[in-house]
Structure formats: C-alpha cells, structure tokens
Chains A and B, each alone.
Chain A
Amino acid sequence: MIPTIPQNPLIRVAYGAYVALFFVYLALPLTVVAVFAFNDSQFPSLPWQGFTLNWFFGSERPMIGVFHERPILRAIGTSVIIGLAVSTLSVVVGTTNAFLFNRYQFRGRSLLYVLMLLPLVIPGIVLGISILVFSSTMANAAWDAAQIDIQALRPGLVLVILGQFSFVTTIATLVIAARLQKFDRTLEEAALNLGANHLTAVRTITLPYLAPAIIGAFVVSFLMSFENFNTTLMLVGSDSPLTIAMFDRLKLGSTPLLNAVSLLLMLGSSLLALVLIAFQRKG
C-alpha cells in the first residue's frame, strides 16, 4: 500500500484513524501528568478542584511548590552533576573508540567491536549489581590488605557515574563513529601535504567536522544519564539523583508536586531536544 497505488478509500481512512489513535495513546500519559500539576488538590486525580500554581511556587504547607522543596532541588543538582560527569567521560572515550575502529586494523578488532556493543544487550540491573559486587570486592581487598577504607568504592556518586558511563559510552561511540565514517580522508591528507603534523590535522580538520556528532552524543548521554533508573538503583548511596528521589516519593503516595517536577522535566528535555536539532541543522 503506497500513495501512488489506488486504494479503497475506506481502508485508507481506517489506516489514518489507527495512526491518529496511536498518537493519542502516546500523548495521553504525558498530558495527564502535565494537567494535574495545576490541580488545586492534595492528589493528582479527579475531581478537578480548580487551577493553581502552588505546586510550583507555593511556600506553605500543605502545598510546598517545587521551587521551595529542598530535597527535590538537591536531587536535581545531584542528577546534573552525575549527568555532566557521565557525558564528559562517555564523549571522550566514545571519540577515542570511534577513531580506533575507524582508523586502525589490528588483530582482535572485530572481537573488540562486539565487546563494545555488549553493554547494549546487558540488562541495566545486571550491569548495576556486577559493578556493585566488583567494587565491594575491591574495597574489601583494600581493607584486608592495608586497612584503607576507599569510600569511592562504596555505593554513592562515583559508582553511579561509573555504572552509567559503562553503557552510555557505547551509545556515544556509535553516534560519533557514524559521522566519522562519512568523513573524507583526503581533507586530512591535504592538511598533511600542507605541512601539518598528524595531531594538528586531526585537531583542525577532523574534530571540527565531528563537532555536531560530539555535541549530539553529549546531549544524548546527558539525557540517558538523567533518566537512568535501573543501573542507578543498585549503585545509589545517600545522595539520590532525581529519578530515585521521585521513585521513593511515588512509593509513599503521590502529590501534584511530582506532576510539577515531571512537567519541568518535560520542558527541560524539549528544550535540550530543540538545541540538539538546531545544532544538527547547522552541522
């Protein structure tokens, strides 16, 4: 069935209706989350009690808004720190990986490539517990050998960053490698002919060409880190990032405060998405 082939109009309408229904299904949960952020009630549910902005700006009990809720603000801060660390690490390693697989032929290359893809097919929770187990083995070994307690190897910020980095790097590598593949190597050769050394050629010609992919990989990595739940759940210490903090609250019962946080998250991610699209256009 393609537009150039005549088709029974009834089928065509039914098909269009199905696709429309699909988009309603996609939009529905997010719409209700957004709408109930403005409900003047203790619960994000019907009946509708009237419009309020208290879940954003309220400063008195029982309606403390997002901007006055310390634990939530702290959790957002933690998530941002983790996200920046994870995306920086992933983009750096992703870039070196992309160059490695694009430029070098060596023994074991295809094996390493499959290993590089592996984190995509390991369940996040298994990735989390394996890193948890290994780091505590190391911490215990350090304690037994020299009575040193290495805090970084206990559940907490460092482990969360390493855990997320372990699979986000694969995504970053794929994004950057895809663009490097399209690069015209003769441009680099021209730079070499004009007297540049290898490093200068890569720095002044190849890296600027890769910039859109590097920025794209950074934004995608940041979002993946910000949203990650499974791996983080197993490695989290006392500083909870936002998803874990929200999960803990949701288990206790929800107030429209969570809707307000969610709406801000949606706005934040859409903004990032727009930035990303703008950059891809330019590149």
Chain B
Amino acid sequence: MLCRDGTVTRMRAGQKLGLILLLTPLLLWLSLLIIIPHIDLFLLSLRERVGVRQYETGLGNYTTILTEPLYMVTFARTAMMSILATALTLLIAFPVSYYIAKMVRGRARSVLFLMCLIPFWVSELVRTFGWMILLRESGVISGLLQWAGLAAGPVELLYNDASIMVGLVYTSMLFMVVPLVTTLDSLDDAVIEAGYDLGGSGPSILREIVIPHAMPGIVSGSIVVFMLSLGNYLTPTMLGGKDSLWFTQMIYSQFIVRFNWELGAAFGFMLLILSSLIVWAVLRLTGQTLEKTMG
C-alpha cells in the first residue's frame, strides 16, 4: 500500500516537474516579449512631456491625437481603406477558392492551389516592387497603353489610393484563399446536390448552404487580411502618393524621425485598440471564437 502510494506521488511529482518545465518557456516568451512590453508601451503613452526631461502622467498624448484633425483623418482613412481592402480581397478570392475546392479534381487541384501560394514565398518588398514596375509612369502598363494607342503620353498610375488598394489586395490574397479553400473543401458535394434536388437555385444555394458553411474560413481570412492591411507600412509607403498617409507611417515618424516616443506610443496603442475592437466585433457578430478561427 505504502509503496504504491509512493509511486503515485512520484508520478505526480514527475508530471508536475514536466508541467513546470514546459510552462517556463511559454511564460517567459509571453510575459517578456508580449505582455510586459505592451504594458510598458501603454505607460509610456500616458507620459506627457512638459519640459526638458520633465514628465507628467496623463492623457495628454491621446487628447493631442483626438484634437488634431490630421491624425484623426489618417486614423479613420486607414481603418476604412483596410476594411475596403478586406472586402475586395474576399470578393476576388471567394470564386477562385470555390473553383479550386469544388470545380477541379485531383492533380489539377493541387497544382492550382500551389500556384496560389507561390507568389507569397517571396517577400512583400519584391511584390510591391513588381507593382511599381508595372504601374509607374515609365512602367509596363503605361508603355502598353501607349503602344496600343490608348494613351498619347506616359500615364502615371502609381502614387494614389487605387494603387495602394491594388497592392494591399495582392499582398493579402493568400491569407484569404487558404482558409476559404480549406473550409469549402470540407463541404460535401452531396449537400449541394440535395439543395438542387429540393428546388434551390444557384444564388439561393450559395446564400443558404455554401456561405454559412464557409463562415469560419471567411471570418479567419477576413481577420488576418484586415490586420495585415491595417498594420502595413511598406505598401502605402511605396505605392501611395504624398498625401495618402497611413497610420503606421505616423508611428514610424514619431519613433524614428521625430523621436517623440510618448506620442508614438499613443499612436501604437490606438492602432492596437482599433484592430482588437474590429477583430472582437467580427468574432461576436459571427459567433466565432479566436481559438476556433486561428487555432
């Protein structure tokens, strides 16, 4: 009896040791690189500079942002354009994902799926560079238009909001296609056939069978695409014009150019809050959880 009790406690002790050993790296990672830095960022954003090396705690940085129209306009513009980019990506990606998941079979299918992934094995910088070569005044599309006689002189297609949108949609396409193909793939053809047998038409089947089934994929794809657009720095900087400001550019300029870390921290925190709010709202509206859509 005693002996058995002894082994049980030893087992428990061993298990406990294992648990502690496995918990340590996780806790170190999360606390030192995620949680504490964000608390520190928040504290810094509450620090107001009142003089040289003199600081006060308060919401001054946030009131500066809220009362300065340029900051608020940029903030709202970044949010709206990211939402638009997400919607466009979903609209473009959905038919393609459906085609890959349901219309083709076997080898052709894996080839098409792989072809969707290939552009994203190279860095965003290269992709953006490609769009610059295509769209700029001396670029390929401008050249083609002149050659075809559709334009009299060089056409500048770069440095405006539309070119930012092209870049954003392109850059985030993969993160929409993959979850969509995965969820659509799990939809049994028989269910769609049953829909037709019961007198459904193409649009009604799409609305009542396909889209509800694909919802987890739509949600996780949209969240990731929205996050990537909101936090993008490269695409708006390289493809956007002089006055198409993006919120991340303001964070960068406060931190690196102006060296006003307090205000930059407040910008960063606002971006974090905006993105968390929208992610939370989307999850709430669609009845999904973060564990289900991401894990």
Binding site for B on A (CB under 8 A): 1-5, 15, 18-19, 22-23, 25-33, 36, 43-47, 92-93, 96-97, 99-100, 103-104, 106, 110, 112-127, 129-134, 137, 162-163, 165-166, 169, 174, 198, 223, 226-227, 229-230, 233-234, 243, 246-247, 250, 254, 258-259, 262, 265-266, 269-270, 272-273
Q: How far is the CB of B142 from chain A (nearest CB, A)?
A: 8
Give Cα distance in the complex from A46 to B143, angstroms.
7
Chain A binding surface SS class: helix
B192 close to chain A: CB less than 8 A: yes
List 24 interface pairs A-B (beta carbons < 8 Å), by A numbering.
A2-B103, A4-B193, A19-B112, A47-B143, A112-B26, A114-B291, A119-B34, A121-B275, A122-B38, A122-B272, A122-B275, A125-B233, A129-B255, A131-B37, A133-B41, A165-B29, A166-B34, A227-B123, A234-B252, A250-B132, A262-B126, A265-B122, A265-B126, A266-B126
Contact A229 B29 (CB under 8 A): no
B96 touches A125 (CB 8 A): no
- CB-defined contacts of A47 to chain B, threshold 8 Å: 143
Q: Which residues in chain B, 212-232, are within 8 Å of chain A measured between CB atoms?
A: 223-224, 227, 230-232
A130 touches B41 (CB 8 A): yes
> Is the CB–CB distance between A123 and B37 below 8 Å?
no
Interface residue ranges, B against A (CB under 8 Å): 14-15, 18-19, 21-23, 25-26, 29-30, 33-38, 40-41, 44, 92, 95-96, 98-99, 102-103, 105, 112, 115-119, 121-127, 129-134, 136, 138-140, 143, 170, 173, 189, 192-193, 196, 202, 223-224, 227, 230-234, 238, 248, 251-252, 255-256, 261, 264-265, 268-269, 271-272, 275-276, 279, 290-291, 294-295
CA distance A184 to B165 in the complex (A): 47
Q: How far apart are B202's CB and chain A's nearest CB, in angstroms? A: 6
Are B238 and A92 in contact, CB atoms less than 8 angstroms apart? no
Contact at A120–B294, with CB atoms within 8 Å?
yes
Are A118 and B265 in contact, CB atoms less than 8 angstroms apart?
no
- Of the residues A92, A163, A262, contact of B122 by C-beta under 8 Å: A262
Whether A18 contacts B140 by the Cβ 8 Å rule is no
Q: Are B37 and A92 in contact (CB under 8 A)?
A: no
A29-B134, A30-B119 known, 13 other contacts, Cβ within 8 Å: A1-B103, A45-B136, A103-B18, A104-B15, A104-B18, A110-B291, A113-B295, A121-B276, A129-B264, A130-B37, A250-B132, A254-B129, A258-B129
B261: nearest chain-A partner, CB-CB = A133
Q: Pick from A36, A97, A127, A243: contact of B133, CB below 8 A.
A: A36
| Given known A-B contacts A104-B19, A125-B231, A125-B233, A272 and B140 have beta carbons under 8 A apart | no
CB pair B193 A126 closer than 8 Å? no
Closest to A242 in B: B123
B129 in contact with A115 (CB, 8 Å) = no
Residue of B192, B248, B264 with most partner-chain A CB within 10 A: B248
**Contacting pair A100 B124 (CB below 8 A):** no
With A26-B119, A113-B295, A269-B121 in contact, do A3 and B233 touch (Cβ < 8 Å)? no
Question: Is the Cβ of B26 less than 8 Å from the Cβ of A45?
Answer: no
A131–B268 Cα distance when bound, in Å, is: 12
A126 contacts across to B, CB distance below 8 A: 41, 231, 251, 268-269, 271-272
Instruction: Report the bound CA distance from A30 to B118 in whole Å.
Output: 10
Kindly state the separation between the CA atoms of A129 and B202 in the bound complex, as whole angstroms: 49
In the complex, the chain B residue whose C-beta lies closest to that of A43 is B138
Q: Are A270 and B129 in contact (CB under 8 A)?
A: no
Which residues of chain A are within 8 angstroms of B33 by Cβ–Cβ distance?
Answer: 131, 162-163, 165-166
Cβ of A1 and Cβ of B202 under 8 Å apart?
A: yes
B103: chain A residues within 8 A (beta carbon) = 1-3, 15
Whether A134 contacts B41 in the complex (CB less than 8 A), given A15-B99, A44-B133, A229-B123, comes out as yes
